[in-house]
């Protein structure tokens, strides 16, 4: 049971600083410098960049679940526990598959002739598993909010209002400064019946197998999740103030990190989708 925001102590700060330093050390620990002009594929892995981001931008111990990333998930459909659990599991499987895909691509790059020929004698061409494991497994934490009395069959507007109250209880600053809250408290995934049921189609794909990985990755481009904001933003559309929008499933990682550094109303990130007339759809790619 959440007991509200607690005062941050000196020990909290020491622990947070040590953890942030550990993340940075891991992010910068990769193969020795290669021959001039040879780019080290380990150094440019996405997981290393996002671990550095967590250690520098989300390290404050007063932040909610600092130095981790992941979503608040509001459950508004309660008629099918199996489908709901499948959708939750899919999100976890998918994020871990991103880590697997990153390692696989790094292994391909390391195995290239120019890389192998520039490595010190005896150096391994096996990707370091630690950055991917740290970001996509250990630091990825979702929080599922299940309050059947308050959320069952809630509209997006009602869910947004609930989310704001929930988030403010976990925010350690004044309400007028809430726009500075971390991504977990700004935006939540809305698992209503429509979202949960359409994700069942993607859940049927296998992301781990080498022969099916790319097929599953391609299929993910046709799926999405709904999201609600604690502080809805007025967008340039006749709908005016819109509390919810759709995010492509392949963008759930990028959206979380970019939500901290850019408002989701940036026009370049939005598109209209013929499948959903009038709905806002976010995509970074």
pLDDT at 255: 87
As a whole number of angstroms, the longest Cα–Cα distance in the chain is: 64
Which three-class secondary structure state does DSSP give residue 228? strand
Q: Is residue 107 part of a domain?
A: yes
* Closest by Cα among 137, 130, 15 to 70: 137
Contacts of 202 (CB under 8 A, 6+ apart): 90, 94, 216, 219, 220, 223, 249
Structural domain of 227: 68-282
Question: Domain for residue 41, yes or no?
Answer: no
Per-residue pLDDT reduced to its tens digit, 130-177: 999 999 999 999 999 999 999 999 999 999 999 999 999 999 888 888
Q: Edge-to-edge strands of the sheet including 281-282?
A: 143-145, 72-75, 187-191, 224-229, 244-248, 281-282, 270-271
Query: In terms of C-beta distances under 8 Å and separation of at least 24 residues, what long-range contacts does 29-38 make, across chains too?
Result: 29/128, 29/130, 30/128, 31/119, 31/123, 32/120, 32/123, 34/115, 34/118, 34/119, 35/117, 35/118, 38/114, 38/115, 38/118
> Do 217 and 104 touch, CB atoms closer than 8 A?
no
- Banded pLDDT at 33 (limits 50, 70, 90): low
- Residue 123 within a domain: yes
Task: Report the phi/psi class of residue 117: left, alpha or beta, with left for phi > 0 and alpha for psi in -120 to 50.
Answer: alpha
Domain-embedded: residue 201: yes
List the one residue out of 182, 31, 183, 36 whose CA is nearest residue 110: 31
- Would you state the pLDDT for residue 25? 95
Q: How confident is the model at residue 203 (pLDDT cuts 50, 70, 90)?
A: very high
Number of domains present in the structure of the chain: 1
* C-alpha span between 165 and 285 (Å, rounded): 32
- Say if residue 24's pLDDT is above 60: yes
Cα 154 to Cα 162: distance, rounded to the nearest angstrom: 9
> Would you say residue 73 lies in a domain?
yes
Please spell the DSSP secondary structure of 122-179, one letter per residue: T---SPPSHHHHIIIIISB--EEE--HHHHTT--HHHHHHHHHHHHHTT--S-GGGGG
Strands 224-229 and 244-248: antiparallel
User: Is residue 8 included in any domain, yes or no?
Assistant: no
3: pLDDT strictly greater than 70: no
Residue 18 lies in a domain: no
Per-residue pLDDT tens for 239-252? 544 678 889 898 89
The model's pLDDT over 59-106, given as tens digits with 9 standing for 90+, comes to 999 889 999 999 999 999 999 999 999 999 999 999 998 998 899 888
Is 168 within the bounds of a domain?
Answer: yes
Which conformational region is residue 64 in: left (phi greater than 0), alpha (psi within -120 to 50 degrees), or beta?
Answer: beta
pLDDT of 228 reads 92
CB atoms within 10 A of CB 54: 22
Angle of helix 81-110 versus helix 193-203 axis, rounded to 10 = 50
């Amino acid at each position: 049971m959440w007991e509200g925001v607690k005062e941050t102590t000196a020990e909290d700060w020491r622990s947070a600083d040590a953890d942030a330093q550990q993340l940075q050390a891991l992010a910068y620990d990769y193969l020795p410098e290669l021959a001039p002009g040879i780019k080290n594929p380990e150094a440019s892995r996405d997981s290393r960049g996002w671990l550095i981001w967590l250690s520098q931008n989300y390290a404050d111990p007063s932040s909610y679940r600092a130095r981790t990333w992941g979503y608040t998930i509001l459950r508004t459909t309660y008629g099918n526990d199996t489908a709901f659990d499948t959708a939750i599991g899919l999100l976890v499987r998918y994020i871990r598959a991103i880590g697997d895909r990153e390692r696989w691509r790094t292994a391909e790059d390391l195995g290239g002739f120019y890389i192998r020929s520039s490595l010190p004698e005896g150096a391994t061409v096996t990707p370091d598993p630690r950055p991917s494991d740290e970001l996509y497994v250990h630091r990825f934490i979702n929080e599922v909010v299940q309050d059947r009395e308050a959320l069952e069959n809630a509209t997006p507007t009602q869910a947004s209002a609930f989310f704001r109250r929930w988030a403010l209880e976990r925010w350690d600053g004044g309400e007028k400064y809430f726009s500075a809250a971390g991504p977990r408290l700004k935006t939540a995934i809305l698992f209503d019946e429509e979202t949960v049921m359409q994700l069942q189609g993607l859940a049927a794909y296998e992301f781990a197998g080498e022969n099916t990985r790319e097929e599953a990755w391609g299929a993910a481009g046709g799926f999405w999740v709904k999201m609600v904001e604690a502080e809805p933003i007025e967008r340039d559309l006749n709908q005016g103030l819109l509390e919810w929008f759709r995010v492509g499933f392949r963008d759930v990682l990028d959206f979380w990190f970019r939500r901290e550094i850019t408002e989701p109303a940036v026009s370049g990130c939005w598109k209209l989708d013929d499948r959903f007339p009038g709905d806002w759809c976010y995509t970074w790619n």
